Homo-oligomer: A and B are copies of this chain.
Amino acid sequence: MHQFTRMLLTEWRRLGLPFSGENVMIAVSGGADSIGLALAIGQLVKLNKFGNRFTIAHFNHRLRGEQSDEDEAFVLEFAHKHGFCASNSFSDRTERKKSNLEEYARRERYDFLERAAGLTGASIIMTAHTMDDQAETFLLRMLRGSGVEGLGAMSPSREFFAGCRLVRPLLNWAYRKDTERFCRDHRIKFRVDEMNEDERFARVKVRKQLLPNLKEFNPKIVETLCQTAATLRADAEMLSVAAKGRYEELRNADGTLSQKALLEVPEILRSRLVRQWLSEAFPGLRQIGSTHIRAVESLALSPKSGRQAELPGGISVLKKGGKLLIRKTKG
């Protein structure tokens, strides 16, 4: 068994993932990471390690014309050849916001995965994020001013929606070069997305400019940042447990927050409670940073009434009659 496949099996056990009876969906773009993951799973299926049903899911973003269609055909052929079921879809939006293409594409893809998982009854969706992706995510969030939750970056296993988990079985141990080597060792082709070279994307710029700079200080920076993210994730979890009790007391039955109660909370807990409140109202909202949390806190602190704080995604927080309430203005 190839070292890569063995490592995947070890991680599968470590994460307590099921060996049979479940529908598992693998998100495959056609790149080395996701093809490597699917290939290793295919090998384990052939070795009778798994009694699960695996489906490969591919979303065609149609951002690169023929190239995108070729990716799709490539993934479908790969699935067919390696005995996987396949589920695919494509973006039908004509209007595209150029401003935040990465975030928009991510959301479209995750919406598709949610639909597809629902249709096939998948209890697990797998993505092939590697340690390199994790370090990049940490840095992108650091640049944006994220707190401990954001700096915790991606979790190797979290709830995606009720009854379905999002699992990243490469996140804890695989580098991008490992997936490439694994594919090459099996003479399996993979697709190369030229957008991964386009430095207008912040993530690409982090990969091409910032990480090489950081490596001059610490050659093991990717490993270091992954460790840091894991530690901070555990810290965030513990803080969330501590804050949860207080939050239940503070939140009114109508979903508003009492201004007075919020002011009585120790400062150290306040921002955490505001974050909890906002993330409960908008679970998918990732652009909320510490600036926005502080804006809501200032709103609560201000004696004047009738003011509001603007958040991303067309959301405002209003102060009215001693209560903070959320209003969605568009989208």
Interface residues, chain A, CB within 8 Å of chain B?
142-148, 151, 202, 205-206, 209-210, 213-214, 216-218, 221, 224-225, 227-228, 231-232, 234-235, 237-239, 242, 267-269, 271, 290
Contacts and interface: CB of A to CB of B under 8 A. Distances in A.
A38 B188 CA distance: 67
B239 A143 contact: no
Given A142-B228, A144-B218, A231-B290, 4 more contacts: A143-B218, A148-B232, A209-B213, A235-B239
Contact of A142 (B142, B146, B238, B239): B142
A231 B218 CA distance: 25
8 contacts: A142-B225, A145-B218, A145-B227, A147-B235, A234-B268, A234-B271, A235-B239, A238-B269
Given A213-B209, A213-B213, A268 B227 contact: no
Contacts of A235: 147-148, 235, 239, 268
A205 to B, nearest CB: 7
A242 B242 CA distance: 8
Contacts of A290: 227-228, 231
Nearest to A213: B213
Given A206-B217, A209-B213, A238-B239, A228 B268 contact: no
B238 A145 contact: no
Given A213-B209, A217-B205, A242 B232 contact: no
Given A227-B290, A239-B235, A268-B238, A214 B143 contact: yes
B232 A147 contact: yes
Contact of A217 (B143, B221, B225, B242): B143
A238 B228 contact: no
B210 A214 contact: yes
A237 B268 contact: yes
Contacts of A227: 145, 290
A173 B217 CA distance: 28
A206 B214 CA distance: 9
A132 to B, nearest CB: 17
Given A148-B148, A217-B206, A242 B231 contact: no
B145 A228 contact: yes
A205 B214 CA distance: 11
A224 B143 CA distance: 7
A147 to B, nearest CB: 5
A89 to B, nearest CB: 33
A269 B232 CA distance: 12
A292 B227 CA distance: 13
A250 to B, nearest CB: 16
A227 B145 CA distance: 7
Contacts of A271: 231, 234
A210 B218 CA distance: 12
B147 A228 contact: yes
A328 B76 CA distance: 62
